[in-house]
Amino acid sequence: MRKILLASLACATALALPAAAHAEDPPLVNWSNLLPGLSSGYEPSDANDCRAGRIQCVDAVIREMTRRFDRLAEDCDHDAIFALSYLRTTEEYRLAATTPGFFEDPGFVNHEDAVFARYYLDAYDAWERGDSAEVPPAWRTALRAADDRTVSATGNMLLGINAHIQNDLPFVLAEIGLVARDGSSRKDDHDRVNEFLNKVSDDLIPEIARRFDPTVDDSDLPTWIDDLAKFQAVPAWRETAWRNAERLVAADSAQERARVAREIEGYAASQALLIRSATAYGLFEDSGERDAFCARNGQG
C-alpha cells in the first residue's frame, strides 16, 4: 500500500528535540488569531496573512499541525496517524505553492489551505471538548475509532481522509468560492492539487510503519479501500467534492442548501462506517501490539 494520499484534505520535525532546539523555532502564530480573517473571504491586500493568502499563513498552519501532532505522537494516540498524514501533506503542499507557475493563483490556494485546515481542527477541538453535536458524523466515526483504538493505523488514516475530503471539502469550496473575481473557474488549481498528493505516500507510509504500526503497508483490504490507500480513489473523491460544492452554491433556497448539505454529510458518514468495518480489529484482536510498538519507536 505504498501509494496513499492523504487527504483535505491534510503534511518535518523530529518529535523528541531538546528544549534548546525548540528555542530556535519560528515564533508560534496563535492559530485562533488567524480565524477571524478567514471568515471574511480572500482579500490579497488584507493584513491577516491567511485572508491575504500569504505563504506565512501556510507556515502558521504547519506549525500548529506540528504542535498538535507532537503531543499526540508522544502519547501514542491513534489520532496521531491522520495528524501526521495531514502534516506531511501540508508540507508537500507548501513546496507546490512556492513553485513558480504551479498554481494560477497561489495566494487563493494558500487561503484555501488555511480554511480547509480550520474545518479539521474545529472538528477535532469540538470532539475533545465533548461537543459531539458540533462534529460532523464522518468525523465522529473517525475520532471515536481513534479514542476506542478499534481500527488499524490504515483505518485511522482512511477515516480521516474520508471525513476531510468527502465531508469537509465541499463546504470549504462553497465557502471560499468556485470562481475568481474575473468570473473564471478555479477548477484548474483545484485539479492541480492531485498532482502532488500522491508524492506524500512515498515517505509517509514507511514513516507510519516505522513509528506507529508496521501493518500499515500490508495490502489485504477490500478492493475499493485498497484503491483509496493507493491514492487511486482520492482524485475521484476530490472531483465529487467539487461537484457537491457546485450543488451547494447553486441551491436556490436555504431549504435546498440544507438538503444538499445533509446528503453530503450522510454519504461521508456511510463511507466512514464501511472503512471502519473493513479496518477494524477482529474479534480476538486489539491494538496492544501496535501500541507497544509505538511506545518503543514512536518518537522518531
Give pLDDT, residue 217. Answer: 78
Rounded to whole angstroms, the Cα distance separating 262 from 256 reads: 10
Q: Is residue 11 part of a domain?
A: no
Give pLDDT, residue 59. Answer: 95
Give pLDDT, residue 37. Answer: 46
Q: Is residue 157 part of a domain?
A: yes
Q: Is residue 10 part of a domain?
A: no
Give pLDDT, residue 229. Answer: 53
Rounded to whole angstroms, the Cα distance separating 43 from 48 reads: 9
Rg over alpha carbons for the chain, rounded to the nearest Å, is 19
How many structural domains compose the chain?
A: 1
- A 10 A CB-CB count for 22 gives 10
Report yes or no: 211 and 297 within 8 Å, Cβ to Cβ. yes
Q: Is residue 4 part of a domain?
A: no
Give pLDDT, residue 83. Answer: 98
What residue numbers bound the domain in which 262 lies?
19-297
Give pLDDT, residue 12. Answer: 31
Rounded to whole angstroms, the Cα distance separating 193 from 29 reads: 26
Q: Is residue 248 part of a domain?
A: yes
**What count of residues does the chain have?**
300
SS3 182: coil
Give pLDDT, residue 2. Answer: 36
Rounded to whole angstroms, the Cα distance separating 141 from 278 reads: 13
Q: Is residue 5 part of a domain?
A: no
Q: Is residue 287 part of a domain?
A: yes
Residues of the chain scoring pLDDT < 50: 1-29, 35-37, 39
Which residues make Cβ contacts (< 8 Å) with residue 296, sequence separation at least 6? none
Report yes or no: 34 and 56 within 8 Å, Cβ to Cβ. no
Instruction: Give which of 49, 11, 53, 10 is closest to 33, Cα–Cα.
Output: 49
Give pLDDT, residue 143. Answer: 98
Q: Is residue 6 part of a domain?
A: no
Give pLDDT, residue 196. Answer: 85
Give pLDDT, residue 34. Answer: 57
pTM: 0.85
- φ, ψ of residue 179 to 5 degrees: the values are -130, 150
Q: Please give the C-alpha separations between residue 230 and each of 132, 155, 200, in angstroms, as whole numbers.
A: 31, 13, 11
